[in-house]
Amino acid sequence: MSARSLPPRWRSAEPALKAVQVAFDVSESVIQAVRQAAFEANLSSSDQIRAVLGLPVSRQAKRPRLTVSLGAEDYERLGARYGLDPEDHRAIKERVNAELLAFADTYRPAETPPREPR
């Protein structure tokens, strides 16, 4: 798809359209180190990897949010858990949000385990 065939409002996103996601098979200790460093720097894991590699990191403000994929069976279970209609996704989302807030209020991180030798 060339820049000429893209709608004008999409042209600024063209570099992102050409980007390729790369996955790395690494040990659990490497994954945890990257995640922890990203958390401490308030970055995504992807941005932390870019920082480690000396690549530019976009510091644009991002909405802080968590995501999870929920299917019909998940909505059935959550509806039963909260006493709600499984089709009422908005009400279920509100209850999940409240449960996550309560979790954050009581969560105490465990001590970080030592890294595996390389």
pLDDT surpassing 60 at residue 4: no
DSSP state letters, 31-82: HHHHHHHHHHTT--HHHHHHHHTT-----------------HHHHHHHHHHH
Paired tokens of 85: 């209609």
* Radius of gyration of the CA atoms of the chain, in A: 20
Query: CA 95 to CA 102: how far, in whole Å?
Result: 11
Instruction: Please give the pLDDT value at position 111.
Output: 64
pTM higher than 0.75, yes or no?
A: no
- The pLDDT tens digits of the residues spanning 61-114 come to 567 778 899 999 999 999 999 999 999 999 999 999 999 999 999 988 776 556
Query: CA 29 to CA 35: how far, in whole Å?
Result: 10
- The pLDDT tens digits of the residues spanning 9-56 come to 777 777 666 778 888 899 999 999 999 999 999 888 999 999 999 999
